[in-house]
Amino acid sequence: MSQLLTNYYEAASVILFGIGFMNLLLQNNLIKKFIGLNIMDTATYLFLAAKGYVFGRIAPILTNGIIDAEYYINPIPAGLVLTGIVVSVSVTAFSLALVLRLYKHYGTLNMDEILRMVREEEGE
Amino acid sequence: MSENKSFWAKLKSWIDGDEVIINADEYISTRERKDKVIGENMLGEKHAPAEKLRANSTLYRVLSVGITVCFIVVMLGVVMDLPMFGDPGSITNNEVAARYLEKGIEETGAINFVAGMILDYRAFDTFGESNVLFMAVVAVLMLLQRDKKNVSAVEDKEMAEDEVFDGQDSKIILQKGAKVLAPIVILYGIYVVLNGHLSPGGGFSGGSIIGAGLILFSAANGHKKMQTFFTVKTLTKISVACLLTYCGCKSYSFFTGANHVGWEIPKGTPGDLLSSGFILPLNICVGLVVACTMYGFYALFTKGEI
């Protein structure tokens, strides 16, 4: 249990990921679904940023001319978070564009309604 | 030989986007109408009826909560076994990170180790990211552009109202504010892009700031004014030119057998604006792509055209 309290950033990010996943599964509104997806992304960034931090070290930008791996935090998670942000922005924009087209066609964002209308269209 | 032929015929029709039907005329003359079959018996098997779905929804909710709670509990168990937060001896701080930090300035010339990492050691990763952004804006363009098949009377009416609103002096605070703020925002974005190898920032963050400046300008002065200097053609030209420049900057070493023709790109003095080889031009390329993408998303989602 004390491990969880020390690793509270990671624990929080896991819980946040779960909240986002639950949103993705249970929301009926399509835009809220994608908000859930974005919460999951954010949880991943929090996890990566927490894994890169080291106590007492500074951001990886050359300061006072010191070149020493013991002086800076790990730069790799920063690059990975960057990749994650870019992909998340692209995926969100693409999915929201799809949602907009769905809304224009069916006039609702409720997924059950859309499914019902699709079924009716196919039935006729 | 005949098998070979049919393979090429299949390949050709696949490339042309047709269904792979070789004897198409024969098939069309003999096939049965599909919609009849659906109407009679296939519908019931294809989809569960609505009543059944409604009964299942409680089960679905319980199951999804259960699965998520199980997931969280398992992952919390994993977190318990992770290395301690902020531990210098943690396994993530291995020799790769040490190499980037110790040899980074010597090998890339960038003071910002992250910029040196993502635009020199891992430049292809960043190239992929820029391509993902460009593809996203192209996909959104395909989906949302207002063309012959994507119009509706309600939207046309709304657009006409917007244009009347843009023509009036009714948003004077926004317009005066944007007049002062938009140049400063864009200038700051350019500063962040150009200093990407010297300070926090770089192509992605600076590009987003430039995009925010463009969005502010567009919101204040109307879409028509923005179109005088920024259209779909501008976006495509800038993005493609930047991606090709990036590709050329980073793929030359493949064509020279990965030995840089015995010529290293001059690194300059670390800390100068013009230093660290290709990182500055690559940052500019990425920044332009990101700025175009951000403004493109805004314009497409609000107006349906860039």
The model's pLDDT over B19-30, given as tens digits with 9 standing for 90+, comes to 555 565 666 666
Residues B135 and B283 both lie in one domain: yes
Residues B39 and B119 both lie in one domain: no
Q: Between B181 and B278, where is the model more confident?
A: B181
What number is the average pLDDT over the span B198-220? 91
- How many CB pairs (< 8 A) connect A and B? 163
Partners of residue A122 in chain B, C-beta under 8 Å = 38, 43, 47
Is B141 inside any structural domain?
yes
d(CA A66, CA B102): 10
All residues at 6 or more sequence positions from B286 whose CB lies less than 8 Å from its CB, including other chains: B119, B126, B130, B202, B203, B204, B207, B242, B246
d(CA B274, CA B195): 10
Residues B137 and B265 both lie in one domain: yes
Spell out the domain ranges in chain A: 2-123
Give the model's pLDDT for residue B258: 61
Contact B117, A84 (CB under 8 A): no
Is the pLDDT confidence value at B116 over 80? Answer: yes
Contact B238, B286 (CB under 8 A): no
Using a 10 angstrom Cβ sphere, with 0-12 exposed, 13-18 middle and 19 or more buried, the burial of residue B159 is middle
Query: Do residue B92 and residue A52 have CB atoms under 8 angstroms apart?
Result: yes
Which residues share a beta bridge with B112? A61
pLDDT tier at B117 (50, 70, 90 boundaries)? confident
Residues B152 and B270 both lie in one domain: yes
**How many CB atoms are located within 10 Å of the residue B166 CB?**
16
Give the closest of A75, A82, A98 to B101, CB-based. A75
Handedness of CA B289, B292, B294, B296 (dihedral sign): negative
Query: Do residue B139 and residue A97 have CB atoms under 8 angstroms apart?
Result: yes
Query: Do residue B105 and residue A18 have CB atoms under 8 angstroms apart?
Result: no
pLDDT tier at B209 (50, 70, 90 boundaries)? very high
Residues B41 and B131 both lie in one domain: no
Residues B176 and B270 both lie in one domain: yes
Q: Which tokens go with A78?
A: 């920063």
Residues B143 and B292 both lie in one domain: yes
H/E stretch holding A30: helix A30-52
Is B214 inside any structural domain?
yes
Residues B28 and B175 both lie in one domain: no
Is the pLDDT confidence value at B305 over 60? Answer: yes
Residues B126 and B256 both lie in one domain: yes
Is the pLDDT confidence value at B294 over 90? Answer: yes
Architecture of domain A2-123: Orthogonal Bundle (1.10)
All residues at 6 or more sequence positions from B128 whose CB lies less than 8 Å from its CB, including other chains: none
What number is the average pLDDT over the span A18-33? 91
* Residue B17 structural domain: 2-46
Residues B144 and B236 both lie in one domain: yes
Give me the number of domains chain B comprises. Answer: 2
pLDDT tier at B288 (50, 70, 90 boundaries)? very high
Is B69 inside any structural domain?
no
ipTM of predicted assembly, 2 dp:
0.88
Any chain B CB within 8 A of the CB of A65?
no
d(CA A55, CA B166): 53
Is B263 inside any structural domain?
yes
